[in-house]
Amino acid sequence: MWEELLIKLAVSGAVLGGVLNLAGMQTWLERKQSALMQDRIGANRAYFTVPWWLGGGPVNWVLRKLGGLGILNALADVIKLLTKEDIIPAKGNRFLHTLAPFLSVFFALLAFAAIPIGPPLILGGRQIPLQVADINAGLLFILALASIGVYGVILAGLTSGNNLSTLGGLRAASQMLAYEIALGVSLIGLVVCYGTLDMGLLVERQGELLWGWLPRWGVLLQPVGCIVFMTAALAETKRVPFDLPEGEPEIIGYFTEYSGMKFGLFFLTDFVEVVLVAALTTALFFGGWQVPYLQPGGFVFPWGAVVPVPHLAYVGLGLLSFTVKVVAFIWFFMLIRWTLPRFRYDQLMHLGWKILFPLSLLNIAVTSVVIVVGSAHP
Amino acid sequence: MSTLGEQLLHRIRDAHKRRTLTWWERIYLPAIAQGLWITSMHFWRNLFLHIAHRLGLFRDQPASVTIQYPDQRRITSPRLRTRHRLTKREDGTPRCVACMMCETVCPARCIYIVAGEHPDPNVEKVPKSFDIDLGKCVYCGYCVEACPEDAIRMDTQRHDIAAYSRDGMWLDIKELLNPGTRQFNEPPEKFVQLTPSEFRQLPQTPPPPPPGTGR
């Protein structure tokens, strides 16, 4: 009983730590990647020195190098956010105004509970699933939490006592409505293909081979579903091509009346949601922790070669594969964020309701027909 | 066949008409892929070059267009009107004869000259003090054009002027004769009066080269 609890705590601690670190590093990634994409240098000045009794010279050398890479800017950001004055507007609702950022970040972080980060680890005869909560309808759980997450944003907008913030909150609500449906419906085709809502099982079934040589990843079975899902999921993160709730040029956004770390929490939520979307895309469409041709016993190549891999290395490779894919998708979403211009509001609604939604419905119809015909004539 | 001018006219005439997009353009994804391709190519190229620069390779190819301002400075045209300086005679005294032409022509009235006598009987006058209030100066260059003696020039290639007070923006005769010696964070000196013998004792420095050598 106690062991179970400790194991769960360890796994959830690892997931939480990984997610928060990835989210925190995104401030660095955002600065540096956008700089490289635009032929700039980016943040490279922030650093600090420590006195001799904390290491002195060598530590300072490392700090200077890190500062030159701009990594210490993330630290400076956090110090700034934590030491700023916390302002609650006089017209705002004190309780709900404080609650909103916590709601926002809480549900974004909670969704990671259902995502498997690695293959089951067998340690001392005990099987440990590397997944915080092994929910048999994990996909629904994640979708539900993704929708609840927008409540924080709506609350923030409505309780700030600022008309522009309210507009931001309302935009978030309507955007959520438009894209949540496409998001959910685009995944039904995937559920039809793999026949499960269990995230662990879903990832495991993507390790099988198609026609004996192609990994059975979701993106190969559901290319249209993948594109619709990624578009809708990007809209869920409220980042640039879909940043209408924020709307920097015209309404500043739902978090206008927030300062200090409460604003920081919204900031963090954005980044956590990017990690979440990257992790979901990986888990649902790109094989999760699966490495192509890696079976629990070792690599089994389609031409018959077998390379045995010990169990711990197998688990490690799985974790590595998942992390690499997630980081790659974070990079990709960052690339999109710094490449595409913003949608106009009517274009946003047009894309959500008239393109993505019918497309995902069509995807379900085609997938179902193919599955039924395929099972009738195997 | 229409000429280029006619084509341009047609374009201008039809500029308000919204072009109907082709099907390929309307599905939007190819355009997105094209944009992502361009930006990601910039990303990988610059990333590669940054790493190569660290290793000492491909130094001739810049990885960014940034000029890291206080450390690196843009090379400016020699014709650019920058901070003023006073030219000197061979004996170290200012070429200026305190004729007050620049003070008179200055539209911002930022030049303040106090005239004195020059020991050489062939030279009529010399400024005892020569001050320019850069807080007022509009960099029009009229003082340079009005000067009959080529005594004032605006070619120090310095244009970064920041001070904590309006008084800090003053340039006295010492700074004007030896541009680049005044630290703008020091307390200001105004109306410094120098005698011709003190002029000769000022260090005989040629005008410093323009700061920085670009990238």
Q: Does the pLDDT value for residue B212 go beyond 50?
A: no
pLDDT at position A334 is 93
Residues B45 and B124 in one domain: no
Residue A377, pLDDT above cutoff 70: no
Query: Across the interface, do A41 and B66 touch by the CB < 8 Å criterion?
Result: yes
Judge: A340–B35 Cβ closer than 8 Å, yes or no: yes
Q: Pull the structure tokens for residue B111.
A: 């030049």
Q: Beta partners for A294?
A: A299
CATH of the domain at B119: 3.30.70.3270
Best CA proximity match to A258, nearest among A175, A333, A169, A179? A169
- pLDDT tens-digit readout, A338-366: 999 888 888 889 888 999 999 999 999 99
In chain B, residues with a C-beta closer than 8 Å to the C-beta of A39 are 42, 46, 63-66
Which residue do the tokens 């008179």 mark? Answer: B104
Write the pLDDT tens digit of every residue in B180-208: 776 666 666 677 777 777 777 766 555 55
Cβ-based contacts of A340 with chain B (< 8 Å): 32, 35
Half-sphere exposure for A246 (CA within 13 Å, toward CB): 16
Residues of B in contact with A65 (CB under 8 A): none
Best of A37, A40, A242 to substitute, by most chain B Cβ atoms within 10 angstroms, is A37
Question: Taking each helix axis from N to C terminus, what angle separates A223-236 and A163-194, rounded to the nearest 10 degrees?
Answer: 160
Q: Which of A31, A33, A39 to mutate to test the interface with B (most CBs of B within 10 A)?
A: A39
Does any domain span residue B129? yes
Q: Is residue B74 part of a domain?
A: no
Residue (of A336, A354, A340) closest to A281 by Cα position: A336
Residue B215 in any domain: the answer is no
**Bigger pLDDT: B214 vs A110:** A110
The count of domains in chain B is 2
Are residue B109 and residue B189 in the same domain, yes or no?
yes
Which chain A residues touch B68 with a CB distance below 8 Å? 41
Q: Which of B29, B43, B50 sits opposite A33 (nearest CB)?
A: B43
Q: Are residues B27 and B116 in the same domain?
A: no
Residue B39 contacts A, CB cutoff 8 Å = yes
If asked whether residues B33 and B89 sit together in one domain, one would say: no
Min distance A44 CA to chain B CA atoms (Å) = 10
Contact residues on chain A for B65, CB-CB shorter than 8 A: 39-40
Domain span including residue B16: 4-54
B45 and B95 both lie in a single domain? no
Report pLDDT for B209: 52
Quickly state the pLDDT bin for B215 (edges 50, 70, 90). very low
| Rg, Å, chain A Cα set | 22
In a shared domain, residues B172 and B113: yes
Q: What is the pLDDT of residues A84-103, one digit of tens each?
A: 998 888 888 889 999 999 99
Q: What is the mean predicted confidence (pLDDT) over A226-242?
A: 89
**Which of chain A's residues have a Cβ under 8 Å away from the Cβ of B39?**
37, 335, 338-339
Question: Residues A63-92: what's their mean pLDDT?
Answer: 88
Test B42 with A336 for CB contact under 8 angstroms.
no
Q: Chain B contacts of A339, Cβ < 8 Å? A: 32, 35-36, 38-39
Question: How is residue A112 annotated by DSSP?
Answer: G
What backbone torsions phi and psi does residue B174 show, to the nearest 5 degrees?
-65, -45
Q: Are residues B114 and B189 in the same domain?
A: yes
Q: What is the pLDDT of residue A87?
A: 87
Mean pLDDT computed over every residue of chain A: 88
Of the candidates B29, B36, B65, the beta carbon closest to that of A39 is on B65
Name the token pair of B59.
């130094």
Show which residues on chain A lie within 8 Å of chain B, measured between beta carbons. Answer: 33, 35-41, 227, 335-336, 338-340
Kindly state whether residues B40 and B114 are assigned to the same domain.
no
**Contact (CB<8Å) B42/A38:** yes
- Chain A nearest-CA distance from B71, in A, is 12
The verdict on B99 and B147 lying in the same domain is: yes
Q: Is residue A66 over pLDDT 70?
A: yes
Contacts of B66 in chain A (CB under 8 A): 39-41
Residue B214 has pLDDT above 70, yes or no: no
- DSSP annotation of A352: I
B64 touches chain A (CB under 8 A): yes
Number of A/B CB contacts below 8 angstroms equals 41
Together in a domain, B109 and B173:
yes
- Decide: helix, strand or coil at residue B172: coil
Report d(CA A234, CA A53) in Å as an integer. Answer: 47
On whether both B40 and B127 belong to a single domain, the answer is no
Suggest the residue from A333, A334, A339, A347 to mutate for an interface test with chain B (most B CBs closer than 10 A).
A339
Q: Convert the pLDDT of each residue in A324-338 to its tens digit.
A: 999 999 999 999 999
B125-133 β-sheet, strand order: B111-117, B125-133, B170-171
